[in-house]
Amino acid sequence: MNTVEYNKSVDKYADGMFRFILKNIKDEDKARDIVQDSFEKLWRNIENVNYQKVKSYLFTTAYHTMIDLIRKEKRKEDFENVDVKEYSHSEQYSDFKEVLNIALEKLSDIQRSVILLRDYEGYSYAEIAKITDLSESQVKVYIYRARKNLKSFIGSIETLV
């Protein structure tokens, strides 16, 4: 991979990475740092990274940096262990996007990550497995659970509305 390809990668993937990380950690500065670190790592390994696989490389690096950060900060909340009705408050949501964002925040870190990779970036189970260091079947299970949890949250809100 050369400098031109590296710069192309910045144009093509920096936004997606930033979006993916920001949706996960909700901290703009840290999301920027993670994206920057990932590109710095790419630059250091520019000779060894194939341009065809650079997206996967970048997302893998960013994902693991993020996971390390999350572990450090111990900001874990597992949606699976929380009763959805707890969130079924009487507040009116201005739009569905907001509802979905809240639902997304309620997911566990791993569920959120896999579903974001799936929906935002259109990755296959195999690609997500590679990025997240999980097996394909584990990825599938997390995605299914995430969808059910999201649907459950949306359903509970819509019933109230």
Partner 1 sequence: MMRRIDRHNYEEFFLDYLEGNMNDSEKKNLESFLALNPDLREELDEMCLVELEEEDIIFDKSSLKQIPFETDFEDFCVAKLEGDLEQEEEIAFTKYLNENLIGKAQYQLFERTKLKADNDIIYPDKEELKRKERKIIPYWMISGVGIAASVLLLFSVWNTSISDKNAMQDSAKKVAYNDSVKKVVITPTKDSNRLEKLAGINSEPKTTKQEVVKSGIEKVENVIAKSQPIEKRTDRIVTKQAITENPIDTKQAASQKVSLPEVIKTAELELLANVEVVDQKIEVSNQEKEMNELPVNTGLANLGMSWKSSVKAKRKNNSLLYAVAKMGVDKIGEIAGKKVQLDKQYDSETEKTRLNFNTKGLGFSTSIK
Residues at the interface with partner 1 (CB under 8 A): 3-4, 6-7, 10-11, 14-19, 22, 32, 35-36, 39, 43, 96, 100, 103-104, 115-116, 118-120, 140, 143-144, 146-148, 150-151, 154-155, 158
Taking the least distance from each CB to partner 1, the nearer of 75 and 148 is: 148
Name the residue with tokens 């690096």. 61
Taking the least distance from each CB to partner 1, the nearer of 69 and 143 is: 143
Taking the least distance from each CB to partner 1, the nearer of 74 and 94 is: 94
Decide: residue 139, CB within 10 A, 0-12 exposed, 13-18 middle, 19+ buried. Answer: buried
> Least CB distance from residue 138 to partner 1, whole Å?
15
> Least CB distance from residue 19 to partner 1, whole Å?
5
Taking the least distance from each CB to partner 1, the nearer of 66 and 103 is: 103
> Least CB distance from residue 147 to partner 1, whole Å?
5
